[in-house]
Amino acid sequence: MLLSSAFAALALALSQVRQASAHGGVLNYNIGGTMYKGFTPYNTPVGQISIQREWDTYDPITNPTSGTIPCNTNGANLGANQLSATVAAGSKVIAYWNPWPHTIGPVMVYMAKCPSSCTSATPSSLSWFKIDQAGLISGTLTSGTWAMGQLVSNNNSWTSTIPASLPAGEYMIRHELLALHTSNQPQFYPECAQLKVTGGGSSSPSSSYLVKFPGAYSTSDPGVTIDIYSQPTVTTYKIPGPAVWKG
Ligand SMILES: *[C@@H]1O[C@H](CO)[C@@H](O)[C@H](O)[C@H]1NC(C)=O
């Protein structure tokens, strides 16, 4: 009994060390005022019920063209346990991360219309548009304030608004952090969740706003492979991907 609880404590401690030394992702959402629990990584997907797609590791994706860039590793749907949050267009979505260890880099939020049900959709085949982004807020690349730092100061959370003119229907929402604290080695942390948008309008993003994952980014993008430490006087940062579609 004592031995088994000692083992349990050790296993818990090890998993916490592993998660702390790795990085993380979106654990919970507040969608239009309702809290939703995300998928719990490092646990079997069997029996998990969530609006979030499966993601299995706190580790970053370091290649912007990786097959896991759409919705993290492995981005699978939870079958009958895959939920979607019903929310009116124009509502706020707050994503909550674990205590986030990095403060340098942009925050980006995308949505994509699902052809029918989001549960049966393949994230890499969807056309994604950006609904929100923030990069270098003030100061220089080397020592300025970044959106990721604001996220950390704001209870490890980020608030976005679903465009009010978006047509009703099923959408995927994709939150992504791009950590830039390691010179010339980007770290991407995407997670996806499913929404059923109600109300809304009839405005849709034109093709210039739409991207695929992988496809939206390349290693040679100036905002992807960057050495922030060698640019102590530069006060601009080019966030990768398309322009934000405001509806
Ligand atoms: C801080 O984040 C947690 C989720 O990680 C949330 O439950 C809590 O309500 C948040 N606190 C505030 C003041 O927003």
98 Cα: distance to centroid of ligand 1 (angstroms): 11
First vs last Cα of the chain: how many Å apart?
59
For residue 11, the surrounding DSSP H or E stretch is helix 2-21
Q: Is the CB of 96 under 6 A from ligand 1?
A: yes
Q: Which ligand 1 atom minimizes the distance to the CA of 35? A: 7
Best of 29, 92, 96, 159 to mutate for ligand 1, by most ligand atoms within 8 A of CB?
96
Burial of 214 per CB tally in 10 Å (0-12, 13-18, 19+): middle
pLDDT of 31 above 70:
yes
pLDDT tens digits for range 53-83: 999 999 999 999 999 999 999 999 999 999 9
User: 63 CB under 6 A from ligand 1?
Assistant: no
Domain ranges in the chain are 24-230
Mean of pLDDT over the chain: 93
pLDDT of residue 53: 98
In DSSP terms, 46 is beta-bridged to none
CA angle in degrees (0–180, nearest 5) for 98-91-36: 40
CATH of 24-230, picked from 3.30.230.70, 3.40.50.2300, 2.70.50.70, 2.60.120.380, is: 2.70.50.70
Rounded Cα gap, residues 39 and 27, in angstroms: 7
Residue nearest to atom 5 of ligand 1 (CA): 96
Of the candidates 163, 67, 157, the one whose C-alpha atom is nearest the C-alpha of residue 111 is 163
Q: Please work out whether the CB of residue 28 comes within 6 Å of at least one atom of ligand 1.
A: yes
Q: What's the predicted TM-score (pTM) here?
A: 0.92
What is the CA 17 to chain-centroid distance, rounded? 23
Pocket test for ligand 1, best of 98, 153, 157, 158 (most atoms within 8 A of CB): 157
Tens of pLDDT, residue by residue over 158-195, are: 999 999 999 999 999 999 999 999 999 999 999 999 99
